[in-house]
């Protein structure tokens, strides 16, 4: 329940930032899950046409944007090799 409240606060702050014309970040920098990404995309989809949104990557605000050109499954668990543990984004430098 604690994480849900934190996520709701993050979404509320993101909406406030958007109304103020500020960048909309999804929470504080930390290791993220695919579910975090999905939730954020679903939230963005309410007010944006995601078919027109390109995927980019940068390591910091001062770095140049790198395009994400593909993505896919990455690592599976070492015991059964059947549980997806990570996905990977690829791009061109």
Q: Are residues 62 and 18 in the same domain?
A: no
Q: Are residues 43 and 67 in the same domain?
A: no
Q: Are residues 58 and 41 in the same domain?
A: no
How far is C-alpha 90 from the chain's CA centre?
A: 14
Structure confidence at residue 52 (pLDDT): 94
Structure confidence at residue 74 (pLDDT): 96
Structure confidence at residue 21 (pLDDT): 53
Give the total number of structural domains in the chain: 2
Q: Are residues 43 and 64 in the same domain?
A: no
Q: Are residues 23 and 63 in the same domain?
A: no
Per-residue pLDDT for the chain (93 aa), expressed as one digit of tens each?
Answer: 555 565 566 556 666 656 655 455 656 667 888 988 898 899 889 999 999 999 998 887 788 889 999 999 999 999 999 999 999 999 876
Q: Are residues 44 and 61 in the same domain?
A: no
CA dihedral sign, ordered 6, 8, 9, 13: positive
Tell me the HSE value of 16 on the side-chain side, using a 13 A CA sphere. Answer: 7
Structure confidence at residue 28 (pLDDT): 65
Structural domain boundaries enclosing 7: 1-49
Neighbours of 3 (CB within 10 A): 7
């Amino acid at each position: 329940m604690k994480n849900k409240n934190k996520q709701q606060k993050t979404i509320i702050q993101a909406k406030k930032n958007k109304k103020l014309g500020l960048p909309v970040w999804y929470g504080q920098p930390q290791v993220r899950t695919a579910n975090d990404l999905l939730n954020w995309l679903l939230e963005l989809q309410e007010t944006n046409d995601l078919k027109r949104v390109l995927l980019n990557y940068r390591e910091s605000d001062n770095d140049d944007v790198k395009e994400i050109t593909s993505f896919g499954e990455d690592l599976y668990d070492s015991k059964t090799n059947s549980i997806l543990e990570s996905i990977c984004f690829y791009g061109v430098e």
